[in-house]
Amino acid sequence: MSLTISSGPLSGHPPETVNYRIDGPAHKLLMHEFPRRVRARFGGETVFDTVRAVLLHETGLLPQVYVPLDDIRADLLRPTDHHTYCPFKGTASYWSVDAGGQVAENAIWAYPEPNAESGWLEGYAGFYWDRMDEWYDEDERVEGHMRDPYHRVDVRRSSRPVRVLLGDTVLAETARPLLLSETGLPNRFYIPAADVRQDLLEESDTHTVCPYKGTASYWTVAAGGRKLADAVWSYPHAEGDSAAVSGYLSFLHDELTTEVGSPAEPG
């Protein structure tokens, strides 16, 4: 993500604060080995199990896992008439996966004759992540998408006072936030639940999955006669480097104002 999105070197708008220029097309591709075993399951069957997967980084897109065709269960694949064209990679052919009485339509694609400049894609196939039932990185199940080795999350304790308002109504106020920095994204303050006006929040049915942080729950802000849907989220059981924000809440909506002050002097 850091390579291809935001101001990464392979993004559409690389930074000016460098002493080099990358010659080449505006839309760039970079493929490299994925260092661990990868598996995908569908309909109770393992569709592939490989230690030879690669990640394709492509300008403006999340990294995509590609798998050697030789490591995919050919008996589970059904070729289709579907084709798509990419000016940077070539014409893609598609296969459906038929396993356990279930069919994932056009779940897999490959470039039998890729463009010359991306000829190294020959012999590899990509998978639509959400069309498989389960994905594994070694023996750990992965949700959302495969983790990018160039992406990281850092959480730091902060003493900067943070206040979140809807008009004149204070929704949250704290002097003990956590600051989460994530590659390619703006910093986010996470606020202890005890410092949030819980009476102004309504639980939402929305949930999202982040491969770096876990599964998020959402709340709607209901205050001053207004309702801001899914303006607050939290990771009840944050994972990995994000674990410290478990149970903390963060706010984001165009109608909300977040004020960040200067920390108090020590002593």
**Is the distance from CB of 66 to CB of 126 less than 8 angstroms?**
yes
pTM: 0.80
Is domain 153-260 given the CATH code 3.30.70.3040 in the classification? no
Q: From CA 229, how far away is CA 206, in angstroms rounded? A: 10
CATH of domain 29-141: 2.170.150.40
Please state whether beta strands 64-68 and 162-166 pair in parallel, antiparallel, or not at all (unpaired): unpaired
Structure tokens at 85: 């064209």
Question: In this structure, what DSSP letter does residue 235 have?
Answer: -
Predicted pLDDT of residue 266: 56
**Is the distance from CB of 137 to CB of 36 less than 8 angstroms?**
yes
**Is the distance from CB of 247 to CB of 230 less than 8 angstroms?**
no
Domain 29-141 identical in fold to domain 153-260: yes
**Is the distance from CB of 111 to CB of 120 less than 8 angstroms?**
no
Predicted pLDDT of residue 265: 63
Nearest C-alpha neighbor of 107 from the set 122, 121, 125: 125
Predicted pLDDT of residue 234: 98
Residue type, 147: R
Q: From CA 161, how far away is CA 80, in angstroms rounded? A: 58
Give me the tens of pLDDT residue by residue for the chain, a chain 267 residues long.
Answer: 578 877 778 887 777 888 877 777 888 999 999 999 999 999 999 999 999 999 999 998 889 999 999 999 999 999 999 999 999 999 999 999 999 999 999 999 999 999 999 999 999 999 999 999 999 999 999 888 888 888 899 999 999 999 999 999 999 999 999 999 998 889 999 999 999 999 999 999 999 999 899 999 999 999 988 999 999 999 999 998 999 999 999 999 999 999 999 876 654
Structure tokens at 107: 């779940």
Structure tokens at 183: 């590659």
Predicted pLDDT of residue 253: 97
Helix spans in the chain (H): none
Q: Where in the chain are the domains?
A: 29-141, 153-260
